[in-house]
Amino acid sequence: MPLGALAFLVAIAPPLPEQRGRNDSALAPDGLAFRYRPDAEVYALDLDPRKVRIDLLEGWDREQEAYRDTAALAYVSGPMYERHVNANGREITIPLGDLKLGSRIWRGRNRTAARQRAFIGIRHDGRVDFGYGELTPQRAALYDTFIGGLHSVYNDLESPPAQYRGAYSISMGQQIRYYLPRIRMVMGLRGDGRLEVLMSRDGLTLEQTKALARQRGLRTAYLPDHASKSRFIIPGVKGFNQDDANWISGGATSFVHVPYMLRLSERAQPLQGDLLSSLAPRTGARRCGNPLDCGKTLGGQIVDRALAGFNRLMEQGVEPLARLIWAPRGHGDPNRSRQRSPLREPPITADPMALRELQEQELNTPTDPLSAPLAPDLPPPLLLQDGQQLPTDPDATLAEPAPLPAIPGFEASGPGEPTSPGRTPVGGPPPPPLLPPPGQP
């Protein structure tokens, strides 16, 4: 009976993406810094890391402002985060991994998690590394951009070290959630050296994610986060709404907020480097090296297909019956269709306390959850100027450098992109502009 149930679940599992052949010549860059390429399976963009800068847009519920920011190329999800209370009793957001964006650095407080995750690093000459570990002083000097706290789906260019644990291997519950079809965001390195970011139109399992990334010709595939924290915004073209965040359970779950997003904009001065040099270490796909590894790989694929089949059975078998005999109790959201799934997700606990208080106050007078602005709550970053070295202590602060004279002919990073008030572009490009609050020009 167990074998029969396993075979049944594997048989009803959704199919993997078609394995269409792609060669590197078809991926030859056309000189564009940024390309938005959606299709029937995904929303996708690819970019030249030498010509596109990555910044951080801080603040909760700023998706609609990001959509109106025509000076940007795109906004996508940042790496995972966690909540802390500082010495003043105020809640703050801390990235789970390390971030370095130009001269600004945010370091995760959970150093074990930072060391056990993966990262994407863009060097000062434009080369891209998909590696593992935390931001060290050596890496701070090597990389112009460092995005840590990621999870590796696969990496054909570098083997993971022994200390790599990934983002979803802490407990059996985390592993089960990881294998269920909840993956949406993928960041990868294409065969022509360009970076690709995609968001699937539906949830993917681990093996479906691998198959999709392979089919698209990605040599590496990393995850910034899971599921409904996914953000993929093209200003003026593709926006964001509550359905995008509530896709897991058909709108029954609470709205999932994010404290920051990665902002893509065109560089004023492109980095000088060779894109294909990032692919030099290895160009072939990794395969299992011995029967034991092959057996583990095959077993993981069978378990993944069985979980995908179980998820389909729940969605198309159990949930329709549940809608007939049971509906959510209470007032509920009048804007949500009663045809949506009544099987609720666990409550979201990563939202800030101030936001949860606003949600409680609005229960009697429902309003648009995207319209309640909150101030950015990330701690101030370290400013690493030329000649300074990143301290090994993550809680250490850098000495305030002497102000440098203004640079003649200094330009912002993109058209129509002003310098943020109160900040001087010393030793690097300016941070992204502070957008006005909703309702103000």
Contact present, 55 and 248 (Cβ < 8 Å): no
H helices of 13-95, in order, are 63-68
**Range of weakest confidence among 25-34, 59-68, 399-408:** 399-408
| Distance from chain centroid for Cα 61 | 16
Q: To the nearest 10°, the Cα dihedral for 73, 270, 213, 241?
A: -10
Establish if 19 belongs to a structural domain.
Answer: no
The percentage of the chain sitting over the pLDDT mark of 70, rounded to a whole number, equals 62
Beta bridge mates, 189: 195, 220
| Backbone angles phi and psi of 131, in degrees to 5 | -130, -160
Chain segment 94-120, per-residue pLDDT in tens: 888 899 999 999 998 888 888 999 999
Chain segment 151-193, per-residue pLDDT in tens: 998 898 988 888 888 765 555 555 555 556 677 889 999 988 8
Establish if 381 belongs to a structural domain.
Answer: yes
Contact present, 234 and 36 (Cβ < 8 Å): yes
Establish if 351 belongs to a structural domain.
Answer: yes
Establish if 189 belongs to a structural domain.
Answer: yes
Number of structural domains in the chain: 1
Tokens at 235, concatenated: 């200003």
Establish if 334 belongs to a structural domain.
Answer: yes
Give this prediction's pTM. 0.71
Establish if 290 belongs to a structural domain.
Answer: no
* Residue numbers of the domain that contains 93: 1-14+33-285+296-399+408-441
Instruction: Choose among 42, 62, 36, 146: nearest CA to 101.
Output: 146
Please give the Cα distance from 132 to 125 (Å, whole number).
Answer: 20
Query: So what's the pLDDT on residue 219?
Result: 92
Establish if 22 belongs to a structural domain.
Answer: no
